[in-house]
Amino acid sequence: MKKTIIALSAVAFLAGCAHMGGGHHGKGGHHGAHWGYEGAAGPAHWGDLSNDFALCKSGKSQSPIDIDTASVQPGNLGPIEFHYQPLDGFEVVNNGHTFKVPVSNGSYAVIGGKRYELVQFHFHVPSEHTIDGKPADMVAHLVHKADDGQLAVVGVLMSEGAPNPALTPVWSHLPKHEGKASGSGTVDLMAMMPADKSYYNYSGSLTTPPCSEGVNWNVLKSTASVSAEQVAAFTAVFPKSVRPTQPLNGRVVTLNP
């Protein structure tokens, strides 16, 4: 039963997010329910918009969270093993909530000894997770799926500074309206990340409807760089893209390795 629930959550996540809010759905949302980041369709009301979004209101393991570094416990998961291939020829999707890039080139990560295939990555400004109450200037969410259907997300926090080289090919093809654009050049996801890949790990949820739980969250401790111009290009299209932090409800956050 547990595996079935996880698998169904994954289907909902990938179909809706074929972003994740982390990720996101299109403007119509999951099962036709419209959701957004402001007003009557904003995060405070997601749980009331559809029965399918009930966990957005009633869930006890929701994301994002504030990571209180004083409460973080030592972890034993070891380093994340990244096996990412350069992305040649790609598609940038504007799904009404964020820019998403689907991935199907065999890239994967091993987290805690478990293999997760990389299926897409997308962005938020500022970061949805906060560290000691403070968000980063931007975040990339790299969304993975294991053979058993479980989702794992690697969050790459970014601070304003030098341009992030991995974003240049993507940012050159950002669709200003809902739809898709074909990109050119090569995206090197390893170049998107900081040199130090220590990470915070905890069990959470999708950060967009349907807010499904059981997501393996991994937020890199160190930040990568992103230029003010790259951030501005995102917010020019998506001025709001962040769900507020959610209660920890007794969950433990670990720092690995």
Give the integer Cα–Cα distance in Å for 77 and 3: 22
Residue owning tokens 């967009």: 208
**Cross-strand partners of 218:** 154, 201
Q: What are phi and psi of 35, to 5 degrees?
A: -140, 160
Residue among 19, 25, 97, 144 flagged as catalytic: 97
Contacts of 110 (CB under 8 A, 6+ apart): 80, 81, 83, 116
Residue 160: exposed, middle, or buried by beta-carbon count in 10 A (0-12, 13-18, 19+)?
middle
Measured in whole angstroms, how far is the alpha carbon of residue 119 from the centre of its chain? 11
- Three-class DSSP category at 191: helix
Q: Are 22 and 141 in contact (CB under 8 A)?
A: yes
Q: Active site includes 124?
A: no
Catalytic residue IDs: 97
